[in-house]
Amino acid sequence: MEDMLKKEDFENNNIIDMNVLYFVTGNQGKYREVVELARKYGLVVEMLNIEKIEIQSDDIREIALFSARWVAAKIRRKIPIVVEDAGLFIEALNGFPGPYSSYVYKTLGLNGILKLLDGIENRRAYFRAVAVLEHPVLGEQVFEGIVYGRIAHYPRGTGGFGFDPIFVPEGEEKTFAELSVSDKNKYSHRARAFRNLFEWIRSRFSKA
């Protein structure tokens, strides 16, 4: 495996600890989930709550890529960063709110979404997450995760954030907001994307 990296590669690049990643987000809920997962891989994830630009696009992959490249350029690629964009896609609403999830959550809220689905039998929906790693040595890599499920008829639970109280993942009866962080991580779009990312990073390191 010739592209395996050794500790010296990182030291030459002025990275002190190769087990640390910086997650650029202002969302504490996302951060909690990712930290819980990272621990299992022996990785430390720090929250980097700095400005990042979010372009308007109907593709969350494009949004995440643009943000990640922008932040990486701003910090002159000195540390490994991850930017993640996620959205809720509701089948009966043709994928709405999708890339506009954050705005729709702030404006319509959970009840607004439930009203739009009033009388509609098809409750199918999915969350999608795209996590972009910009690494000083390993370069750019994109990881995705999806969880299918359905929209509940009324909000339940107090955990999590955003649309968690109205989303029930396939194979569960509880909403994401009724699950603990580690139980949400068994299903979630974010956990799937980050598990791929952490496994990929681990596969690049030779054992010290």
Q: Which of 37, 79, 169, 188 binds ligand ITT (CB under 6 A)?
A: 188
Which candidate in 3, 59, 85, 164 is catalytic? 85
Give me the 133-172 binding string for ligand ITT, x by CB under 6 A, dash otherwise: ---------------------------xxxxx--------
- Amino acid letter at 116? L
The answer to whether the CB of 130 falls within 8 A of the CB of 137 is no
Task: Give the neighbor-by-neighbor strand order of the sheet with 44-48.
Answer: 44-48, 20-24, 81-90, 124-135, 139-151, 167-169
Please give the size of the binding site for ligand ITT, defined by CB under 6 A.
Answer: 21
In the complex, least distance from residue 54 CB atom to ligand ITT, rounded to whole angstroms = 7
In the complex, least distance from residue 121 CB atom to ligand ITT, rounded to whole angstroms = 23
Q: Which of 34, 101, 126, 151 binds ligand ITT (CB under 6 A)?
A: 101
Which one of the spans 3-11, 22-30, 137-145, 149-157 is the region binding ligand ITT (CB under 6 A)? 22-30
* Closest-CA residue to 191 (of 3, 34, 64): 34
85 is a catalytic site residue = yes
Residue 89 to residue 119: CA distance in whole angstroms: 18
Tell me the two tokens of residue 26: 């202002």
Chain-centre distance of CA 46, in angstroms?
A: 14
Contacts of 163 (CB under 8 A, 6+ apart): 88, 101, 105, 110, 113, 127, 176
> Per CB under 6 A, does 22 bind ligand ITT?
no
Q: What amino acid positions are annotated as catalytic residues?
A: 85
Write out the residues near ligand ITT by the rule CB under 6 A. Answer: 25-27, 30, 84-88, 101-102, 105, 127, 160-164, 176, 188, 190
